[in-house]
Amino acid sequence: MASDRLQHFRDRLALPLIAAPMFLVSGVELMVAACRNGVIGSFPTVNCRSTEQLEAWFTEIEARLRQHEDHTGRKAAPLCPNLIVHRSNARLEQDLAVLLRHKPEIVITSVGSPAPVLKPLHDAGALVLVDVASIRHAQRAAEAGADGLVLLTAGAGGQTGWLNPFAFVRAVRAFFDGVIVLAGGISDGRALHAAGVLGCDLGYMGTKFIATRESMADERHKEMLVDSNADDILLTTAFTGLQTSMLKPSIVAAGLEPDDLPARGAIDIGKDIDVDARENRPKRWRDIWSGGHATSGVTDVMAVDDLVARTLAEYRDAGGR
């Protein structure tokens, strides 16, 4: 079973947890901090402005984690790049080539079928996890040969699914014996433990990692998460055409009315993945900020060291080992 392959690095994990890959949030500092604390660090490759920068990120992260291992004698948790496999990613082939050179232990694919990249990634020794938002998507990914499935459930930040996590996990576990990762609403160690009881091998934590000192998020985004709760999260298709969880206060700050947004994908606020705005109008992800239902659990901006230590204590208190 694919889940057996987790044993190759399970003893390197402080928690069965992935720091979720987040656009414009997950960068070098967050990856280094997560991995050296025993949390799988994941980042979208498109967070790098170019394939050359992606190469540089890998080189720097790997070097810093080796230094950590040499100093402490403890091997870091795996680094896990997130590859956007949709045709809109013009750098897919080039980014894939970088991954194949660096041979990451885990890779997450998103927004499309993983079929074109599965064989080369498997040949390089990677465990391939695939984002899915419906049971049909999960079935197709399993049939394609995915080692694991990241279940995007109601409550996940950014582009997400709508299914209840209890129903989704149990339905997928009925036909899939590989790795299952629960994404959506995990805000503390007790929730992470509950995901394991439900039948998941790993959990995603995204929103709370946005509000860390090491994340690349705008400081106003971090403070907005502290000041908000789950009632401030809006599920909308207005910005991306897909169901996306956004912070209402950021929508208001951009001069829009959360309760009166146009139809699916009608707001064109910048479809480019360039971080820099070409105009002064609001840009998706730069000015309209994501957050999940776990926003209610964000009480302060803290260092990753402290967040992991707190989550580990909560996990153990709940019965996790």
Residue 321: what pLDDT?
81
Residue 261: what pLDDT?
87
Mean pLDDT on 217-222: 96
Segment 101-158, tens digit of pLDDT: 999 999 999 988 999 999 999 999 999 999 999 999 999 999 999 999 999 999 999 8
Q: At a CB cut-off of 8 Å and minimum separation 6, what does 269 contact?
A: 239, 254, 281, 282, 283, 284, 287, 288
Segment 65-115, tens digit of pLDDT: 999 999 999 999 999 999 999 888 999 999 999 999 999 999 999 988 999
Q: What class has domain 2-215+301-317?
A: alpha beta
Residue 2: what pLDDT?
53
Residue 63: what pLDDT?
97
Residue 262: what pLDDT?
77
**Residue 314: pLDDT over 80:** yes
Higher-pLDDT residue of 161 and 263 is 161
Segment 31-43, tens digit of pLDDT: 999 999 999 999 9
pLDDT interval class at 17 (50, 70, 90)? very high
Residue 318: what pLDDT?
96
Residue 272: what pLDDT?
38
Task: Give dist(CA 15, CA 6) in Å, integer.
Answer: 12
Mean pLDDT on 44-63: 97
Mean pLDDT on 41-57: 97
Higher-pLDDT residue of 160 and 265 is 160
Q: What count of other Cβ atoms lies within 10 Å of the Cβ of residue 137?
A: 18
Domain boundaries of the chain, sorted by first residue: 2-215+301-317, 219-293
What is the signed CA dihedral for 30, 31, 37, 39, rounded to 10 degrees?
110
pLDDT interval class at 242 (50, 70, 90)? confident
**Residue 7: pLDDT over 90:** no
Residue 276: what pLDDT?
42
**Residue 181: pLDDT over 60:** yes
Higher-pLDDT residue of 79 and 237 is 79
Task: Give dist(CA 270, CA 272) in Å, integer.
Answer: 6
Task: Give dist(CA 154, CA 196) in Å, integer.
Answer: 18
Label the pairing between strands 40-44 and 79-84.
parallel
Beta bridge partners of 202: 181
Q: What count of other Cβ atoms lies within 10 Å of the Cβ of residue 110?
A: 21
Identify the residue whose tokens are 């810093």.
64
Percentage of residues in the chain with pLDDT exceeding 70? 92
Residue 266: what pLDDT?
53
Residue 6: what pLDDT?
85
Mean pLDDT taken over the chain: 91
Task: Give dist(CA 154, CA 243) in Å, integer.
Answer: 10
- Which stretches within the chain are classed as H helix? 28-36, 51-72, 92-102, 115-123, 135-144, 165-173, 189-198, 207-210, 219-227, 248-253, 304-317
pLDDT interval class at 234 (50, 70, 90)? very high
**Residue 221: pLDDT over 60:** yes
Return the amino acid letter for 316: R
Residue 275: what pLDDT?
38
Q: What is the DSSP letter of 290?
A: B
pTM of the model: 0.92
Task: Give dist(CA 88, CA 90) in Å, integer.
Answer: 6
Task: Give dist(CA 24, CA 48) in Å, integer.
Answer: 9
Percentage of residues in the chain with pLDDT exceeding 90? 80
Mean pLDDT on 247-251: 95
